[in-house]
Amino acid sequence: MKKQAKPRVAFFDFTDCEGCQLQFANIGTTLLDLTELVDIVNFREIMSEAGEDYDVAFIEGSITTDNDVKRIKKIREKAKVLIALGACAAIGGVNGIKNRSSLDLAKQRVYGDKADIINTIKAMPVHEVVKVDYVINGCPVYVPEVLAVLKSILMGKPYVVPNYPVCVECKMNENVCRYEKDQECMGPVTRAGCNSWCVNNGNRCYGCRGLLDKPASDAAKDILTKYGLKVEDILNSFTLYNDSMGEKYDQEFR
């Protein structure tokens, strides 16, 4: 690759836990190699001073207030490349649970008698408000995938998120299937790319990377039922991360 001026990278927070930015800090020594390729100008987790100019904007978190909408539009105007970093930004993530009830009820529950003075709108993934160039799924994001996306950005090539289920990677890792152990698992309908990180470490898949383009939800529901889950539990499992996907959610699960 021809040497050009290093792209300036900034990180921005919306409604989230900052856990995905923390994963960047966890990249370790490779992060130093990365600074050969990019300039990090705004990064709350590891830098103190905030930069002004940037080419590449990593967005963490969902859009949940009117102010968020204004802010993300401004960032979009400035950034040449905009990346949704992590489940909240990519698919709405757990914030989407808010959308399950009416906004008034949600406000009431969270803020009680102060509900009226709080501005909040439905929880949205970033792509519902502005154009997103790259998506990095996961709660939190998986570091090797972050690096793969970064390379794609630097090469100016699209990053294609796998459209096959987590099971594919999980089997290649020769994990004991969670269903073998009579546990429910979202692996069969969830987009791979995480190298079945959770299951490798003894957990199950919660579906944080969002659903496949064409999840076999009918078959998946049959399986969950077969393993003794009630309809309500199944819905909760399917929607923990996917509630704000709106129509897709309705089509697949209602």
Partner 1 sequence: MLDREILLEKMRTSPYRPMKAKIIEAEMVTEKEKFFRIQLEDKINLGHTPGQFVMVSIFGYGEAPISICSSPTDKGYFDLTVRNAGVFTNKLHTLGKGDILGIRGPFGKGFPIDNMFGYDLVIVAGGLGIVPLRSLIRYVMHNRNDFGDVQILLGCKSPKEFLFEEETKEWMKRSEIKLNCTVDRADPDWKGNVGLITTLIPGVDINPSRTYGVVVGPPIMYKFVIVKLLEKKIPDHQIIVSLERRMRCGLGKCGHCQIEGVYVCQSGPVFTYADLKNFKGECHEKAS
Partner 2 sequence: MKYATLNKKDLNKWLEHLKKSAKLYAPRKKENLFVFRPVKDVGDVVLEYVPTILPPKKYYFPQKEKLLKFKIEPFQTAKAIEGFEDFILFGVHTCDIAGIQCMDVVFRDGPEDPNYLNRKDKMIIIGIECLRYCDKYANCASMGNHVPRGGYDLMMVDLGEKFIIHINSEKGEKLVSKLDYIKEAAEADMNALERCREAKKKVFKEEFIGPLGKVYGVFDKSFGSDVWKDVGKKCVACGNCTAVCPTCYCFDTQDDLELSLNDGIRYRIWNSCQMDDFAKVAGGEDFRKGRDTRQRHRYYRKFKYPVDKFNRYFCTGCGRCTRTCMAGINLVETVNSLLSQETL
Give contact residues for partner 2 (rule: CB under 8 A). Answer: 1, 30, 33-34, 36-37, 147-148, 151, 154-155, 163-165, 167-168, 171-172, 174-177, 179-181, 187-189, 212-214, 216, 218-220, 222-223, 226-227
Round to whole Å and give the CA distance between 192 and 147. Answer: 16
- Which residue, 108 or 152, is less far from partner 1 as judged by CB? 152
Which of these, 35, 55, 37, lies nearest to 47 by C-alpha position?
Answer: 35
- Which residue, 64 or 137, is less far from partner 2 as judged by CB? 137
Angle of the 143-155 helix axis to the 29-37 helix axis, nearest 10 = 10
| Contact track, partner 1, 128-167, x by CB under 8 A | ---------------------------x-xx-x-------
Which of these, 151, 138, 155, lies nearest to 207 by C-alpha position?
Answer: 138
- Which residue, 38 or 148, is less far from partner 1 as judged by CB? 148
> Cα dist. 215→66, 159, 168, 207, 249 in Å?
33, 21, 14, 12, 11
Provide the 3-class DSSP secondary structure of residue 6.
Answer: coil
Q: Which amino acid is at 219?
A: A
Residue 176 within binding range of partner 1, rule CB under 8 A: no
Show contacts with partner 1 in window 58-117 (CB under 8 A).
none
Provide the 3-class DSSP secondary structure of residue 13.
Answer: strand
Residue 3 within binding range of partner 1, rule CB under 8 A: no
8 Å CB contact between 139 and 145? no
- Which residue, 2 or 114, is less far from partner 2 as judged by CB? 2
- Which residue, 52 or 213, is less far from partner 2 as judged by CB? 213
- Binding residues (CB under 8 A) for partner 1: these are 155, 157-158, 160
